[in-house]
Amino acid sequence: MQYEKFKALKLSHDGGVLTITMDCPEKLNAVGERMHEELAEIFTVAALDPETDVIVLTGAGRAFSAGGDIEWMQKMIDLDGAFEKTAAEGRRIVFSMLDCEKPIIAKVNGHAAGLGATLALFCDVIFASEAAKIGDPHVSVGFVAGDGGAVIWPQLVGYARAKEYLMTGDLLPASEAAAIGLINHAVPAGELDARVDAFVARLQAGAKKSIRWSKMSVNIGLKQMAHAIMDTSLSLEALSNKTSDHQEAVNAFREKRPPVFTGR
């Protein structure tokens, strides 16, 4: 398979398990342009790999993913057509995860925010370190939660909770996220690898085709929901990309100060 072309993602293969590691630890695995392009392709490539049975998604260092890279955000503001490309990739990320028959397990080793949360929540089973927090603070940077949050959060925790967390951008401790059904398991940090390994081994020892096709059966309704929502939510995110509030949030991040929003 064509794994050698991936540079922002670190890929390792061990006995039928493909581990995909978002590999920018110095930026807490914030997703930049190159990583976003690769995330839009990797699950399709992995789905076609006959030597892969299970996929594990994780982050390098102390975070799963801090969301979007701030310099990339500025580029999308400044460059005409940049967000159009990003939106198309965002759609491919979500649907390639939903279309992949092979189980995708999230190993949330640290904070998962924004796109990082979306990536984790579209995995099939989610294990998180108790030290991790998870949330979708798109609104904190003047963005619409358009890259999948509007699809997956209501399905996992209901509409009332989803709207609360998507409108405030609050991060939840992993234990609370597990308690409300946002993720499957919150485990002590030192046990995370072993718990994920044990679950993956159980899947590998099972009836692989039955497991895959059960996933696909469950995903039918979720894909229908995603098809109904994603184009509109990504279009609204594109509109928010050009607001004064979004530019203010990018400026505030660079200047290490709270943003002052004006509603424009």
147-204 pLDDT, tens digit per residue, is 999 999 999 999 999 999 999 999 999 999 999 999 999 999 999 999 999 999 999 9
Mean residue pLDDT across the chain: 97
Judge whether residue 98 has pLDDT over 90: yes
Which residue is listed with tokens 């979004």?
A: 246
Report whether 140 contacts 249 (CB < 8 A).
yes
Region 56-79: what's the mean pLDDT? 95
Region 217-232: what's the mean pLDDT? 97
Burial of 167 (C-beta count, 10 Å sphere; 0-12/13-18/19+): exposed
Judge whether residue 99 has pLDDT over 80: yes
Please tell me whether residue 54 adopts helix, strand or coil conformation: strand
Q: Which pLDDT value is given to residue 81?
A: 87
Instruction: Out of 15-24, 46-55, 80-89, 173-182, pick the least confident.
Output: 80-89
Report whether 7 contacts 45 (CB < 8 A).
no
List, in order, residues 6 or more apart from 12 with CB less than 8 Å away: 18, 19, 21
Judge whether residue 2 has pLDDT over 90: no
pTM of the model as a whole: 0.96
Task: Report the distance separating Cα 128 and Cα 58, nearest Å.
Answer: 10
CATH number of the domain located at residue range(s) 1-189+207-264 in this protein? 3.90.226.10
Task: Report the distance separating Cα 229 and Cα 148, nearest Å.
Answer: 9
Q: Which pLDDT value is given to residue 80?
A: 87
Which residue is listed with tokens 């978002």?
A: 22
Other C-beta atoms closer than 10 Å to the C-beta of 245 total 18
Judge whether residue 61 has pLDDT over 80: yes
| Amino acid letter, 27 | K
Q: Which pLDDT value is given to residue 175?
A: 98
Q: Where are the domains of the chain?
A: 1-189+207-264
Judge whether residue 1 has pLDDT over 80: no
Region 63-73: what's the mean pLDDT? 95
Report whether 59 contacts 19 (CB < 8 A).
no
Region 129-133: what's the mean pLDDT? 98
Which H or E run includes 104?
Answer: strand 104-108
List, in order, residues 6 or more apart from 149 with CB less than 8 Å away: 117, 118, 121, 136, 138, 166
By C-alpha distance, which of 165, 141, 146 is closest to 154? 165
Alpha helices (H) along the chain: 33-47, 70-78, 82-99, 115-121, 149-157, 159-168, 174-179, 192-204, 208-241, 244-255
Judge whether residue 105 has pLDDT over 90: yes
By C-alpha distance, which of 50, 60, 66, 48 is closest to 19? 60
